[in-house]
Copies of this chain bind each other. A is one copy, B any other.
């Protein structure tokens, strides 16, 4: 039997068991079980618990030395809740021993008085480092970077570098796969991997062994640009420089993984008007207020659609079949338009769709819509015609559906780019606007044509 067997099943069971123990209120036993968990697992468990149990568990976790790590691993919203439960002294203790980039993330969520105390408790060098990270927005390369990098000079030998690393040993930052080479002024020159250090002649100079092809990231890049760079080049870490080429720090892949996860959740949850930080067990009143906003926006668009319908009350009261069939026209337009919208939003996020190739997407989507118009207009016309025994209704719904599908493709392709250009996030506003268009056009086309032709 090998020493380490895979522990997935036992890990999941452990979480479920602990959840049951906490729900049952056996806190002493829960405390003992907790000791076996790492910070990330505790964070995961906290997020999975409803508020009452979360508070109970947090009371136990607050005593742990790695509570700062736990705070970093939960989402922003859960973190805010946990922090509001802590004494200033505990908060201060939680910030101890964290890397600068992590400390910067945490400090932003702390009350101002605590932040100042944290800054005061750091030595000059670390305070300087922290302030450098805090200077940049959280979602920029500067906000993601860690400033405790190991740098070496190009003219020294590998032997000197290795001796230096031996002195550092325990203080070498985690995830160090490579060292950065700088000149006297602190400008970034290149990178030397630990693998290269190990496998080359110790008498070689850094300049001979270092690699020049790891291009630096500028501190003002957005986190999305950073993530794209990491993905494209399969990076583990990358140097960050200011606009003078001066080395500021490094970004490691673990933070990029979080960026990519959050970007995916942002697109997915934004479509429902939710934030990617949304806590599954947020307090009911907090959730209700946030949801209310989204429902209110939707209500306005729903009333707009109703107003369009009301313009044709006379027609509707004479041909009630129109009321029965009108949701089909609106709904098919919404579904088709959402498909185009989704493709376009992803294209923009990946940097693959811009004004330079939008024309091609629009033409392709219009062609797809034209084909599906023909198919589904025929199917719907046949079904509706047979149902209501009316060739007029069959013809009407076929034409209205085709019009709406074409408008849906147009809106789905154009809206995201237009929103993006004026600085509105298409992942958030795109869906509402699109279905407003497809509802209004759908009802207008179907009922408008009916009023015109049937009377």
Contacts and interface: CB of A to CB of B under 8 A. Distances in A.
A2 B166 CA distance: 29
Interface string A280-323: 11001101100110111011011101100110010011001101
A166 B1 contact: no
Given A199-B172, A264-B263, A368-B287, A231 B258 contact: yes
A216 B4 contact: yes
A113 interface: no
A212 B3 CA distance: 9
A6 B216 contact: yes
A320 to B, nearest CB: 4
A327 interface: yes
B357 A328 contact: no
A422 to B, nearest CB: 20
Nearest to A167: B199
Given A199-B165, A332-B302, A356-B20, A342 B271 contact: yes
Interface in A25-62: 38, 40-41, 44, 47-50
Contacts of A352: 44, 47-48, 280
Nearest to A357: B48
Interface in A177-213: 177, 183, 187-190, 194-195, 197-200, 212
Contact of A264 (B188, B267, B364): B267
A92 interface: no
Nearest to A229: B8
A336 B38 contact: no
B327 A439 contact: yes
Contact of A195 (B194, B261, B264, B367): B194
Given A269-B342, A353-B48, A299 B198 contact: no
A292 B260 contact: no
Contacts of A372: 288, 291-292, 295
A320 B309 CA distance: 10
Nearest to A345: B268
B305 A327 contact: yes
Interface residues of A, number: 144
Interface stretch (A104-112, A120-128, A130-138, A373-381): A373-381
Contacts of A169: 199-200
Contacts of A245: 1-2, 4-6
A421 interface: no
B195 A232 contact: no
Interface in A251-280: 253-254, 256-258, 260-261, 263-265, 267-269, 271-274, 278, 280
Nearest to A183: B2
Contacts of A172: 195, 199
B346 A328 contact: no
Interface string A370-396: 011001100110010000000000000
Contacts of A162: 198
A338 interface: yes
A189 to B, nearest CB: 6
Given A302-B328, A335-B298, A368 B284 contact: yes
A339 B8 contact: no
A314 to B, nearest CB: 8
Contacts of A4: 188-190, 212, 215-216, 245
A220 to B, nearest CB: 9
A418 interface: no
Nearest to A201: B166
A10 to B, nearest CB: 11
A202 to B, nearest CB: 10
26 contacts: A2-B241, A2-B244, A5-B216, A5-B245, A6-B217, A40-B233, A50-B360, A165-B198, A166-B199, A175-B177, A236-B236, A261-B264, A268-B271, A268-B342, A271-B342, A273-B339, A274-B343, A280-B343, A284-B368, A284-B371, A287-B364, A288-B367, A292-B372, A295-B336, A296-B379, A327-B330
Given A8-B229, A234-B254, 6 more contacts: A44-B351, A175-B236, A268-B268, A271-B338, A272-B339, A299-B379
